[in-house]
Structure 1
Amino acid sequence: MVLTGPVAALRGALGFLSRIPVGRTDEDWEAFRRTPASMPAVGYAIGALVALPVAAAALAPVRVQSLAVGVAFAAWLSLVTGITHLDGVADVGDAAVVHGDADRRREALKDSALGVGGTVALALVLVGLVAAGAAVADVATRSLADAVALVVLAEVSAKAATAALVCLGDAPHEGLGSALTAASGPRMLAGVALVTTPAALAGGAVLGSGGAGVVAGVFTAATVVAALAFAWARSRLGGVSGDVLGATNEIARVVGLHAGVIAWTLS
């Protein structure tokens, strides 16, 4: 059956942003690339699925160490979403340490060999993800609902940050980045904001009296990551590439999780 409109866009987004076996047709891909709001829209389902190790540990009859939960969280996330975006982190890390003009940095993005910059970038993201999973596990010992809400908020905000770059950016060369940015524009940011709003409202309600601060912390963190990634990509690469989009998704998730936990602890 051929799906059209929002349903096809959501299926295309799930097929592209996760390894959930929904199947993916050319029509789904076309609908997805023309609908950046589908990215944060599927963040709700992906976030809930990614939170399963945290929930399982909190509900286990014996205490599970937070660090073990953090490792399981990172591993499970890779199984659910794949490692394609981590490749973007590695490529951007390699490009970031290149001395020279934008052409040389773009060459580094296309180089399949992993350099020092990419290794450090990957290590920081993975260590940050394990630490974030452990911190969320500690939250779950006091409130499982709050912990799940944090994970979902971070996932939706990371997808919204990536979608914002799609709406605002132009790609420096043909590829995944150009396929997405060419079909979007600044006016589509309204759709991204509309789809993201329920996460903020529901998250604030679940998290209680300090919920507004936690929501603000998560979304502010993702926004800062997106702004820095956009500025760096324009000045250093000449535009937003597919690797930049993938790296933004991964970094915004990690930073959003940590910001959310800190805000929750202070609330």
Structure 2
Amino acid sequence: MAVRALAAVRGAVGFLSRIPVGNTEAGWEAFRRTPAAMPAAGYLVGALVALPVAAVAVAAGRGVAVPPETAAVAVVAWLYAVTGITHLDGVADLGDAAVVHGDADRRREVLADSALGVGGALALGLVVLGHAAAALLVVDLARLAPVLPVAAVGLVVAAEVAAKAATATVVCLGDAAHEGLGSALTAESGPRSLLGVAAVAAPVALLGWPALAPGLAVLGAAGAVAGAALWWSTARLGGVSGDVLGATNELARVAGLHAGVVAWTLS
């Protein structure tokens, strides 16, 4: 059991990021049968994504003032260097499908079209802008002493775990609209698998300790995105797909980061 769990997490890291862990058929099979591997991989991916934020905190502690705007750009660039841009393709495709007129069949045709339309361009711009704005807020937290730098790093990790948990939730509760990546994942999981996803993701609420509100806000925002993605894809596409899963990951991360910063501000 432990060997399969490790294989699933390794498969999740290889599939969900550009971390060179190696992709094997055994890892892929273990991963697609274990939705909880997604948030588990989020801890490692999130820790790597948070490195620029930690660097800003260290620099601030030594009296080096890094321009927050420059640091925010570096955070976003590093984010996609670690995670890749595959999920952004899902954002673009869903953006195009969301604005097209027609039924579910017509929207699925747009999803399969590799051309980028206005809806997709707008969706991409909003998601990247949302990440940049969130990065700026998190960088500002990282520059403050004494406890907020740790909280800023924790928020980045929590948002990555929550994004992966939101994607896993869609996998567990959704039905595939057609054969493909969506069906390869949803066919192997069901609502019962959510227990494992929740158990793996729940500890991120403690990353802002002693404050719990930020971590809970991150998880809550990501959960809301998962619910919205499930509802929209079922109503408008007839079910989930790989594009839906990728877009869920990106939107949940953005929502989680902003919700976490707001919770820190209010707490």
Question: Who is 2:81 aligned against?
Answer: 79
Segments of structure 1 that go 5 or more residues without pairing to the other structure are none
Question: Who is 1:258 aligned against?
Answer: 258
Structure 2: distance between partners of 1:149 and 1:110? 37
Q: Is the 8 A contact 1:50 1:80 kept in 2?
A: yes
Question: Who is 1:195 aligned against?
Answer: 200
1:42 pairs with 2:41: yes
Greater shift, 230-239 or 189-198, is seen at 189-198
- SS of equivalent residue, structure 2 residue 207: helix
Structure 2: distance between partners of 1:144 and 1:199? 16
Q: Is the 8 A contact 2:214 2:260 kept in 1?
A: yes
Question: Who is 1:163 aligned against?
Answer: 168
Structure 2: distance between partners of 1:196 and 1:58? 25
Question: Who is 1:11 aligned against?
Answer: 10
Question: Who is 1:56 aligned against?
Answer: 55
Post-superposition offset of 1:135 = 0.4
Deviation string, structure 1 residues 33-68 (Cα, Å, up to 9, x no partner): 000000000111111110111111222252111111
1:135 pairs with 2:140: no
Letter in 2 for 1:50: V
Q: Is the 8 A contact 2:11 2:23 kept in 1?
A: yes
Structure 2: distance between partners of 1:90 and 1:237? 15
Question: Who is 1:102 aligned against?
Answer: 104
TM-score, scaled relative to structure 2: 0.95
1:221 pairs with 2:225: no
Q: After TM superposition, what 4+ stretches of structure 1 lie above 2 angstroms from structure 2?
A: none
Q: Is the 8 A contact 1:4 1:28 kept in 2?
A: no
Question: Who is 1:111 aligned against?
Answer: 113
Identity %: 66
Post-superposition offset of 1:4 = 4.4
Post-superposition offset of 1:141 = 1.3
Post-superposition offset of 1:245 = 0.3
Q: Is the 8 A contact 1:4 1:27 kept in 2?
A: no
Q: Is the 8 A contact 1:41 1:195 kept in 2?
A: yes
Post-superposition offset of 1:70 = 1.1
Deviation string, structure 1 residues 147-167 (Cα, Å, up to 9, x no partner): 011111111111100000000
Deviation string, structure 1 residues 86-116 (Cα, Å, up to 9, x no partner): 0000000000001100000000101000000
1:121 pairs with 2:123: yes
Question: Who is 1:182 aligned against?
Answer: 187
Structure 2: distance between partners of 1:198 and 1:255? 19
Aligned counterpart in structure 1 of residue 152 of structure 2, from 142, 147, 169: 147
Segments of structure 2 that go 5 or more residues without pairing to the other structure are none
Post-superposition offset of 1:204 = 4.3
- What is the number of residues matched between the two proteins? 260
Post-superposition offset of 1:254 = 0.6
Structure 1: distance between partners of 2:51 and 2:239? 36
Structure 2: distance between partners of 1:225 and 1:77? 20
- SS of equivalent residue, structure 1 residue 239: coil
Letter in 1 for 2:180: G
Structure 2: distance between partners of 1:192 and 1:217? 17
The CA RMSD measured in Å over matched residues stands at 1.1
Post-superposition offset of 1:128 = 0.6
Structure 2: distance between partners of 1:237 and 1:126? 24
TM-score, scaled relative to structure 1: 0.95
Question: Who is 1:173 aligned against?
Answer: 178
Letter in 2 for 1:258: H
